[in-house]
């Protein structure tokens, strides 16, 4: 595996791969890799000649009050994990290389970014789409892989790719969970022992929604009330939002729509904000 630390060098490599007719599968990450990331890497490895993974903790997508400075990092461990997965190139740029002095261009997906995460984190998706478009232009992937745990991020990136006519296939991959159901996330590292136990409440609430939907309950209000009850059994949990939205446009739904419904939630466990979702 070759570690590449400048956008210019990565672009030269991508251009050469293209000239040679090699397909490029790309997994953008912020590092501190877990099995969720590795499932994306394995999928990319299966379907592409070349696999590129990026590690870049993108300051643009963190608000000033968020966890940019303490976001977990462990480059050596990540490098070894990616080496084990036979990744070809690890793109690991610095903030100065990605956002040199004078940088002032941004990408904004207007409507899809407003509800859910956008309500709590109004500047987040502008940072995500800006860095992802930059990464796409640098790495020139044929296919790019994202986890469904960040469901809204996946939908926003798909929208950007369609709206801006990018010739990239965006692949969404299933959420990978711990044995008790907690969705894998680099932020789980912030949880202490008791918080970690109680963090399962997000999954428990989603299971409750699933149970209700499968027994024919359709009203969002009823499902959300039951999910709230499930969360309130955990004393360290504080709900940020629970929401039921149409998958295609993220409009709030009064009633479940078959094969087009996203049930999602964000919950603080102590000081750590976790998100999770299920697609119905
Ligand atoms: O999902 C993430 O880790 C980040 O939002 C991404 C897509 C790598 C952009 O910084």
* CA–CA–CA angle 72, 76, 78 (5° rounding): 65
Closest Cα to residue 55, out of 84, 86, 94, 23?
94
Question: Where in the sequence numbering do the catalytic residues fall?
Answer: 37
Q: Whose CA is nearest to atom 8 of ligand 1?
A: 29
Max distance between CA atoms of the chain, in angstroms, equals 58
100 C-alpha vs ligand 1 centroid, how far in Å?
20
Cα 216 from chain centroid (whole Å): 30
Residue 185: per-residue pLDDT: 97
Give the ligand 1 atom nearest the CA of 128. 9
Residue 20: per-residue pLDDT: 98
Where does the pLDDT of residue 93 fall: very low under 50, low under 70, confident under 90, or very high at 90 and above? Answer: very high
Residue 206: per-residue pLDDT: 98
Backbone CA torsion sign across 64, 71, 151, 56: positive
Domain range list for the chain: 2-173, 186-279
Give the ligand 1 atom nearest the CA of 28. 8
DSSP reduced 3-state for 110: coil
Compute how many other C-beta atoms are within 10 angstroms of the C-beta atom of residue 56: 19
Q: Pick 2-173's CATH classification: 2.70.210.12, 3.40.190.10, 3.10.20.440, 3.40.50.620.
A: 3.40.50.620
Give the residue-averaged pLDDT of 235-245.
98
Q: Whose CA is nearest to atom 5 of ligand 1?
A: 128
Pocket test for ligand 1, best of 26, 121, 153 (most atoms within 8 A of CB): 153
Secondary-structure class of domain 186-279 per CATH: alpha beta
169-173 and 261-269 strand pairing: unpaired
**What is the SS3 string spanning 119-158?**
HHCCCHHHHHHHHHHHHHHHHCCCEEEEEHHHHHHHHHHH
Interval 168-203: pLDDT, tens: 999 999 999 999 999 999 999 999 999 999 999 999
Q: Which residue carries 């040199």 as its tokens?
A: 100
Interval 42-86: pLDDT, tens: 999 999 999 999 999 999 999 999 999 999 999 999 999 999 999
Where does the pLDDT of residue 91 fall: very low under 50, low under 70, confident under 90, or very high at 90 and above? Answer: very high
Residue 278: per-residue pLDDT: 98
Residue 219: per-residue pLDDT: 98
264: left (phi over 0), alpha (psi -120 to 50) or beta: beta
Pocket test for ligand 1, best of 61, 99, 161, 184 (most atoms within 8 A of CB): 61
Q: Whose CA is nearest to atom 3 of ligand 1?
A: 29
Task: Provide the CB-side half-sphere exposure for 11 (13 A, CA).
Answer: 10
pTM of the shown model: 0.97
Give the residue-averaged pLDDT of 260-272.
97
């Amino acid at each position: 595996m070759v570690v590449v630390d400048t956008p210019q060098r990565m672009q030269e490599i991508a251009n050469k791969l293209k000239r040679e007719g090699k397909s490029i599968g790309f997994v953008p990450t912020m590092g501190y890799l877990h099995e969720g990331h590795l499932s994306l890497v394995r999928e990319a490895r299966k379907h592409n000649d070349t696999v590129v993974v990026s590690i870049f903790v993108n300051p643009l997508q963190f608000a000033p009050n968020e966890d940019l400075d303490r976001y977990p990092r462990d480059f050596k461990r990540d490098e070894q994990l990616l080496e084990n997965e036979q990744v070809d190139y690890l793109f690991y740029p610095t903030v100065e290389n990605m956002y040199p002095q004078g940088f002032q261009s941004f990408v904004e997906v207007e409507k899809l970014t407003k509800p859910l995460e956008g309500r709590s984190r109004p500047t987040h998706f502008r940072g995500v789409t800006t860095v992802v478009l930059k990464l796409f232009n640098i790495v020139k992937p044929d296919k790019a892989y994202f986890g469904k745990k960040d469901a809204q991020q996946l939908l926003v990136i798909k929208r950007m790719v369609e709206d801006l006519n990018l010739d990239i296939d965006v692949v969404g991959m299933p959420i990978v969970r711990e044995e008790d159901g907690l969705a894998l996330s680099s932020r789980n590292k912030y949880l202490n022992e008791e918080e970690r136990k109680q963090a399962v409440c997000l999954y428990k609430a989603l299971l409750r929604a699933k149970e209700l939907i499968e027994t024919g309950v359709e009203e969002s209000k009823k499902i959300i009330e039951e999910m709230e009850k499930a969360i309130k059994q955990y004393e360290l949990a504080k709900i940020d939002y629970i929401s039921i939205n149409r998958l295609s446009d993220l409009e709030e739904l009064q009633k479940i729509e078959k094969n087009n419904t996203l049930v999602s939630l964000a919950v603080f466990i102590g000081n750590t904000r976790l998100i999770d979702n299920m697609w119905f």
